[in-house]
Amino acid sequence: DLDFEEFLNRNVALHDAAAKGHMSIVRMLVDAKAQVNVCNEAGLTPAAAASSAGHAHVAAFLSQHARAPPPQPSRGSAPDACS
């Protein structure tokens, strides 16, 4: 399961690969339709995890492949992807 979450921090494989700067693995996971906008326990997407670890090239790649969040009900402002 590409989007299996680790128990303690809710990271998926894409979080781990992105945070470690493994571009080839990130590409493979994205090509296999892994969720790009998924959030971990800290509220980070894989792109944010890559960015905070100093892997701007991985963060940019993931940002280009991020899918728009589903439409939200019109009650006030829509929450961001990780709220």
Q: How confident is the model at residue 1 (pLDDT cuts 50, 70, 90)?
A: low
Looking at the chain, how many residues does it have? Answer: 83
Q: Give tens-digit pLDDT for 24-75.
A: 999 999 999 998 998 988 889 999 999 999 999 999 999 999 876 554 444 4
pTM above 0.85, yes or no: no
Higher pLDDT, 49 or 5: 49
